[in-house]
Structures are given as C-alpha cells and as structure tokens.
Structure 1
Amino acid sequence: MKNRDRIIRYYQGTDNGELAARLIDLADSTAKGRPYAVSEFVSPGAVQIGETIQAHVPSLVLKTFGGYEGAERVKLAFVSADYDGPVDFGIIACRLSWDDRYRLLGHRDVLGSLMSLGVGRERFGDIIMQDAGAVLLADTKLVPYLQQNFTKIAMVSIAIEEMPLWDIAPRQEKVKEIKTTVASLRLDA
C-alpha cells in the first residue's frame, strides 16, 4: 500500500498507530491474493481506521461482524472484491451461568475475571448481561482455554456452555427523552 506511512502517522496522533499498522498488514495480505483476512476484536473507533484503509485499496471490501446485530466490539474482515464466498469471522457465543442468590454479578465482574486470567481484550467481544448469567462473544480458539480455566467470577462458581449466535437478541438502543425550557434557540445562549 503506497499510503501506508501516511495512514499510520495520522492515527498515531490518536494512539492507534499500531492498530492501523496491523490492519494495513491484513489488507495487504488480502490484496496479494488471499480471499479474506480477519482481524481480532476491535473497539468501535477502529472501524473508522478500517474504512480509511479500504478507501485506499479499491479492490477490497470491508465487512464487520461482532456475533449479533448491533454489537459494539466487532471483528473486521478485508475481503477481495471478486470473492463471493462466506467469511469465517471465528466468533462463538458462550453462555455463562451462575447461581445468582449468592451474589449479583455485573459486567465489571465478568470483565475483571477474564482479564485476570491473562486473556487480552482483543480475544473477546461483547459481554451481554442477562438475569442469571451472561453471554460472552469470544474467538473460537479461546473457548477450550475458557472451559478449562474460567471457573469462577468473584468467588462464585460458573458454568460455560456454547450457544448458537442466532439465539442472541439484537441490541436495544436506550433512548432517554429530556424535556426542558430554554431561554433562546441560539447555540451560544
């Protein structure tokens, strides 16, 4: 890619230079003959980096997938424009369940337990909290490790079972309507 250094310099200002370099390498591997290349899980801001790279390489198409509709953390795939087959993002859903009468566990508890196992944030996606458990979207290669080592969250024993991705409900956007009276409709007031 001829604009590689320019793109990396631009995103180094936002501390995303290293991520931009990794995504450019993925795009280059697809441009050199692979049908597609998939990144690790990335934050929502990284999608913009992928779109910038795709704009400089017209022979590629950028696809994103996080396991369900409306996912916050997603994987990016640079796909060759002439490839029309399926893209394997390597995402699996795991249902985490525990006995909630002992303790109410939250998103922070689940995330903290995963991080304490030494699992990098790029290896798993969204954590969707439910009544007596949670759904964890993870890289398929991570699941055997989780099943063997992820046994407790904050001293509460948990059970892990795989589940199909289509069982995850789409994300509901929470909207809060605020009614107020303003002195003027001008923005500087």
Structure 2
Amino acid sequence: MKEGLYDHFHADEKIYVDRVLDWLVQSSDQHKIILTEFLDPRQVQILLSLSNRYPDVQVKADGGFPAAERKRVLLAPEYIDVESESSELTVLEVKLDNGMLFEADHGDFLGSVLGLGIKRDRIGDIHVHDRFAHIVVTQEIAVYLDTHLRQVHRHAVFTSILPVDQLVPAVQEMQTVHITVASMRLDGVASDVYRLSRTKIMPPIRAGRCKVNWKPVEDPSHQLYAGDVVSMKGFGRFKVLEVDGVTKKGRIRVQVGTYL
C-alpha cells in the first residue's frame, strides 16, 4: 500500500502520512470511528487524497462553517451515517469586560489561548469582530478556556460557551497590492510582497519557513499561480489573486492580497 506513496509528499509530511494511514486502517479493518483534532487545509487535503485508497471508509471534514480553514475530520466505516455524527465543536465567545471595542487581532487571541497550555490542534478558526470574538474549539477544552481565559492582549475579558450553530464567521480582510515581477518564482513574488531583497528572502525559504498552500516549499524557484496562498513564518501570509498579463517591458502584472 505504501510503495511509492511518499514520492507525492514533502519529507516533513511523512510522519503525518503514516498517522493518516493508521487512522484509515483502524476505521477500515477495526471498524472504529475516529475524530481528529483540527487540521490545516494541507493536512485535510492529504487525508482526503489518502482516503480514496479506502473506499469502505467515509470521511467528513467540519470546522463549524462551510468556509472554515481549520477542520476536524471524522472517519467511520461505510455503514455509519457520518453526517449524523458529532464533530464535537463548540464556540468560545470572548468579550471585553467594559463592552468597548477590541484593540486585538487574531494573533493576540491565539497567543492568549496557547499561553494557557492549549495545543494548537485543539483550536479551529478564530473570528475577530469589533466587540467580540468567536473561537471554534473542541468541546473537551471549552470549559477550561471559559474558566481561565481572562485576558487578551492588554484587555480584561469575559467568556461564554455557545453551540457551534451560533458561530458568527468573520470575513477575512485583505489589502490588495499590485506588483510587477520578472517571473512567477516564489522568491521574486515574495520579495516584492514583503519588500525584501531576494538575498534576504531566500534564506528563510531554504530554511523551511515558507509554505505554499500549506505545503512546505524550500525551492526559491517554485512557480506560483493564481489562487496560491503563501505564508512565511515571521512575515505573514498572502494570496496570489490574479495574474494580469505582461507589461511593455516584459514584466508580469500580479494582483496580490495580503492578509490583515
């Protein structure tokens, strides 16, 4: 079953691939229902692709709403109605004690939750609004967070637990940037977006700090296409929105969205 399988994945993903295959075998051969923690889009993609090798296993991915980025995946034998099985998600609502506007962003909320000793895979998407935030979490940690999360950034907060059907998704804002590049190489586009020279952008790429569509990419010459999402640890994330053609000087016009 594994012959040639690893050729399709990055070296850093092999341990995760083995975990997924183990889950699929348990569900197929031992008739177990397995619910994963939150997976990023690349992990979900890997799981779904590998599940095609096990037609007797059903798979459901759920992050609380259809456009969720991070999702829990439920695997079950073919005779189980996976749609009726719970993904065990809940929403932690966070508000300021004084009811004022938040001056905190996604990273502030994530940092405060992780600071309580919670692992990242227990936390789904974080939806930040002007006067409250909704954090999708596993049911097993909801009460702990409701009891202990009392500060976000510099703000004193209070929390409550809501059913997942009361989740209010936030629209992720982007700032649109228009650039022209000599080619669609990763290092060329990223250097323009992050406003760094190629000399400075190449080391973090080669050091494994860059992901394209949540997959580690260490080749600076990797070609980007419209729809690709690029993230670099310490620099942020952007999406290639559109490739708009070529200028008179032969450079490529690119429309990029940087996540705020």
Pairwise CA distance, 1:97 = 0.7
Q: Equivalences for 1:1-150 in 2 at 5 Å? A: 2-3=1-2, 6-7=4-5, 10-13=8-11, 15-34=12-31, 36-84=33-81, 86-98=84-96, 99=98, 101=100, 104-150=103-149
Does structure 1 conserve the Cα–Cα contact (< 8 Å) formed by 2:62 and 2:87?
A: yes
Pairwise CA distance, 1:40 = 0.5
Q: Report which stretch shifted further, 125-134 or 34-43.
A: 34-43
Code of the aligned partner of 1:106: D
How big is the alpha-carbon RMSD for the aligned residues of Structure 1 and Structure 2? 3.0
Pairwise CA distance, 1:64 = 0.3
Code of the aligned partner of 1:93: V
Pairwise CA distance, 1:81 = 1.6
CA change 1:61–1:160 in 2 (3 A) is same
Q: Which has the higher strand share?
A: 2
Instruction: Please list the CA deviations of residues 94-140 of structure 1 after superposition, one character each: whole Å capped at 9, or x if unmatched.
Output: 11111364851111110111121221110110000111110000011
Pairwise CA distance, 1:30 = 0.9
For these two proteins, the number of residue pairs brought into alignment is: 185
Distance (whole Å) between structure 1 residues aligned to residue 93 and residue 102 of structure 2:
18
Code of the aligned partner of 2:137: A
Say which SS state the counterpart of residue 16 (structure 1) adopts.
helix
Does structure 2 conserve the Cα–Cα contact (< 8 Å) formed by 1:42 and 1:75?
A: yes
TM-score with structure 1 setting the length = 0.82
Say which SS state the counterpart of residue 105 (structure 1) adopts.
coil
Say which SS state the counterpart of residue 118 (structure 2) adopts.
coil
Pairwise CA distance, 1:143 = 1.1
- Point out where structure 1 has 5 or more consecutive residues left out of the alignment: none
Pairwise CA distance, 1:22 = 2.1
Does structure 2 conserve the Cα–Cα contact (< 8 Å) formed by 1:69 and 1:171?
A: no
Does structure 2 conserve the Cα–Cα contact (< 8 Å) formed by 1:70 and 1:171?
A: no
How many percent identity over aligned positions? 20
CA change 1:43–1:151 in 2 (3 A) is same
Code of the aligned partner of 2:120: R
Relative contact order, higher structure (CA 8 A, sep 6+): 1
Distance (whole Å) between structure 2 residues aligned to residue 168 and residue 43 of structure 1:
19
